[in-house]
Amino acid sequence: MPVKLPTSASQIIFRPLLLRPRPVQSFRGALAQARTYAMPGALSIREHIMNVNNRPLVQHGTDPMTGWYRTGFCETDESDYGNHTIAGVVSEEFLNFSARKGNNLRSAGLADGCRWCLCVSRWKEALDAFSRGEVSRSTVPLVDLEATHSRALSSGVTLDQLRQFSTRAEDRGE
């Protein structure tokens, strides 16, 4: 029997409380939550949302659950002023860098190697600090291009900059 998706915000099935639900900021966000939690087995691809390579967005991280909607996808909407669309793999150096800037990601359960949807501005801040020689290259999180939302490119980073820090060596030209 096919799964019936909700057609209005009142039909949304919210995720269990143990996942620390984020208040739904828009109808589109509510549908994204419902599509992930109402269907048997979480979706691993968002066919209607494109990544920076203009292909369907893939899920980035589920342990801990990441994303603006905590669906594992680096998807967003207009209420996400931080633009959490870069699918990063954080390092100990980045966690220290972010904490010094006032955002202690360890409090969200992150550790070295965790996959997390990062704010474009914080990733760019680490990139700029590396470019100025203030931090090491390992401070800039590696990027999973297949899981990075296309909206990241409208916030001051280029595809070439993201490719330089890709998780895949072939994307970096190696």
Confidence of residue 115 (pLDDT cuts 50, 70, 90): very high
Distance of CA 149 to CAs 17, 106, 120, 129, Å? 27, 23, 10, 23
Residue 54 falls inside a structural domain: yes
Lowest mean pLDDT among 40-49, 52-61, 100-109, 117-126: 40-49
How many domains does the structure of the chain reveal?
A: 1
Lowest mean pLDDT among 25-39, 56-70, 94-108: 25-39
Residue 9 falls inside a structural domain: no
Residue 20 falls inside a structural domain: no
What's the confidence (pLDDT) of residue 170? 80
Range of the domain at 138: 28-164
Mean pLDDT of 35-49: 53
Residue 141: cis peptide before it, omega within 30 degrees of 0: no
Share of the chain above pLDDT 70, in %: 73
Q: What predicted TM-score, i.e. pTM, was given to this entire model?
A: 0.74
- Residue 102's contacts (CB-CB under 8 Å, 6 or more residues apart) are none
Residue 174 falls inside a structural domain: no
**Long-range CB contacts (< 8 A, 24+ apart) of 92-95?**
93/135, 93/136, 93/138, 93/139, 94/126, 94/138, 94/139, 94/140, 94/141
Residue 23 falls inside a structural domain: no
What's the confidence (pLDDT) of residue 20? 40
Residue 52 falls inside a structural domain: yes
Domain of 154, CATH number, reads: 3.30.56.110
What's the confidence (pLDDT) of residue 45? 65
Per-residue pLDDT at 87 exceeds 50 = yes
What's the confidence (pLDDT) of residue 173? 77
Residue 91 falls inside a structural domain: yes
